[in-house]
Structure 1
């Protein structure tokens, strides 16, 4: 083997080794880059999932906030409408009471309530009061029941009130008392379970 051949052979072997080393370094570098890319991909997916969860929670909070505000508005409207209806109902009831006080049945009602109060008082002193609107019935009721009737200073829409001073008892069969009690206790019970 001549020197040129030896040199050529040495050159070929060196170049081949250099190519192999370069290929090994490239493969190693490529594997490192692929590993880094995979880690970056995994990290990006985790970050994306975290961001999706955060944005979903934020969207839920916004929806709940809007829903709560709408429920509050609906409840206010519902309460306002209930109050309007309650006022209308009790206005009609008051009108019916006023109409009732102009009927013969009203005089019978007053007579019955006065007799109940007299029976309850027994032998005790009792004072019977009529509402000022019932002034025209006072004399007739005194004659019918055989007891003195006084007119109250304040109106109580009709009915009677009676006082038994010895026992400190007030008998209240006034329309105003019952009307106010019904007004305070009145509730709208609605919905499927009440239908």
Structure 2
């Protein structure tokens, strides 16, 4: 082999070896970069999933807050409407009571209440009060019941009240007390069970 052939052969082997080493370095670097890329991609996916979960939780929280606020506003509005209806209903009831107080049935009711109070007193001193609006009935009621009646200074709408001082007893058949009690107890019950 000539010197030129040896140089050429050495050159070819050196180039082949250099290419092999270069390719190995490139392959190693490529694998390293692919590993870094895969790690980075996995981290980015993890961060995105965490952000999505956080945003989803935040959105649900905001939705729940908005729903709670809306429900509270609906309850307030419902309560306001119910109060208006209740007041209107009791205005109508009061008008019906006023109409009732003009009837003979009301006079009979007063007589019955007065007699029951006298019976309950059982001979003890009893003060029987009628409403100021019934003052025009006083003489007639006294004749009918044989009881001494007092016209109250307080307007209790209608009905009667009796006091047995020796026993600390108040018999309250006044319409004011009965209407107030009914007003306090009255609630609207809807089909959904909300009182």
Give TM-score scaled by structure 2 length: 0.97
RMSD: 1.1
Does residue 184 of structure 2 align to residue 184 of structure 1?
Answer: yes
**Cα deviations across residues 11-65 of structure 1 (Å, max 9, x unaligned)?**
0000000000001011111111111111011001000000001111111111112
Q: How does 1:147-166 map to 2 (within 5 A)?
A: 147-166=147-166
- State the match for 2:170 in structure 1: 170
**Cα deviations across residues 67-102 of structure 1 (Å, max 9, x unaligned)?**
121112111101100110010011011111111000
CA distance in 1 between partners of 2:192 and 2:41 (Å): 55
The DSSP-based 3-state class of the residue aligned with 1:29 is helix
Does residue 102 of structure 2 align to residue 119 of structure 1?
Answer: no
Q: How does 1:95-106 map to 2 (within 5 A)?
A: 95-106=95-106
- State the match for 1:41 in structure 2: 41
Question: Structure 1 residue 193: deviation in Å?
Answer: 4.9
- State the match for 1:6 in structure 2: 6
Q: Runs ≥4 in structure 1, deviation > 3 angstroms? A: none
CA distance in 2 between partners of 1:56 and 1:192 (Å): 32
Mean CA deviation greater in 63-72 or 110-119: 63-72
The DSSP-based 3-state class of the residue aligned with 1:102 is coil
Unaligned 5+ residue runs, structure 2? none
Q: How many residues align?
A: 194
CA distance in 2 between partners of 1:147 and 1:56 (Å): 79
Give TM-score scaled by structure 1 length: 0.97
CA distance in 1 between partners of 2:69 and 2:127 (Å): 57
